[in-house]
């Protein structure tokens, strides 16, 4: 897999489904994650 430590990734649809899974996977690999979603309340 790619080295993601200290990389920045942008994930849309970050509050559910594939987007949420991607956020968790990227964060666990050390990436800095920027999340975008329509429902701000679910990001918290």
Instruction: Output the 3-class SS for 18-39.
Output: HHHHHHHHHHHCCCEEEEECCC
pLDDT (tens digit, 9 = 90+) per residue, 8-40?
999 999 999 999 999 999 999 999 999 999 998
Higher pLDDT, 29 or 1: 29
Alpha carbons within 13 angstroms on the beta-carbon side of residue 19 total 15
């Amino acid at each position: 897999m790619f080295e993601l430590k200290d990389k920045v990734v942008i994930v849309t649809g970050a509050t559910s489904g594939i987007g949420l899974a991607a956020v968790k996977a990227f964060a666990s690999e050390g990436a800095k994650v920027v999340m975008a979603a329509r429902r701000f309340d679910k990001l918290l």
